């Protein structure tokens, strides 16, 4: 049986960022306000996927703002996290996508 985390990774691998965002949004909503590290991890990763989705829709300023949420919670992805291998893979994919869309992230044109 596939885990939510492996489905999220597959969605990222197949450029299905909206689906990835929705998948973790549902998971995050169950954990919301718990203060647990899991809640922060899912919030971060869903915002990372959402940021890429916004880039593809041409909403660069919004993407940069949402990406900051991902970066804020990224440190919670560590070896102590449950499902670490899948979470790390998702993180690696998102960092690769940041490099792919470097122009959006690095330019002052889309500054907040």
The answer to whether position 112 is within a domain reads no
Domain span including residue 64: 4-106
83-86 long-range contacts, CB within 8 A, separation 24+: 83/3, 83/5, 86/3, 86/5, 86/6, 86/8, 86/9
Query: Of 62, 64, 69, 10, which Cα lies nearest the Cα of 45?
Result: 69
45 domain residue, yes or no? yes
Supply the pTM of this predicted model.
0.90
The reply to whether 63 falls in a domain is: yes
pLDDT at 111: 60
Instruction: Retrieve residue 97's tokens.
Output: 């996508």
**Residues 4-13: what's their mean pLDDT?**
94
Residue 31 within a domain = yes
Number of domains the chain contains: 1
Residue whose C-alpha is closest to residue 12's, from 95, 84, 102, 80: 95
93's tokens: 């994919």
Given a cut of 60, is residue 58 above it in pLDDT?
yes
The more confidently predicted of residues 70 and 29 is 70
Q: What share of the chain is helix, strand, coil (3-state, %, to 5)?
A: 80, 0, 20
């Amino acid at each position: 049986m596939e885990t939510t985390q492996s489905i999220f990774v597959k969605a990222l691998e197949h450029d299905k960022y909206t689906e990835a965002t929705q998948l973790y949004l549902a998971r995050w909503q169950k954990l919301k306000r718990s203060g647990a590290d899991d809640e922060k991890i899912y919030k971060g990763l869903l915002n990372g996927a959402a940021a890429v989705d916004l880039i593809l829709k041409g909403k660069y300023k919004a993407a940069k703002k949402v990406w900051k949420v991902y970066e804020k919670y990224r440190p919670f992805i560590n070896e102590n996290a449950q499902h670490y291998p899948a979470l790390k893979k998702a993180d690696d994919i998102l960092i690769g996508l940041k490099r792919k869309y470097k122009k959006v992230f690095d330019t002052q044109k889309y500054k907040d």
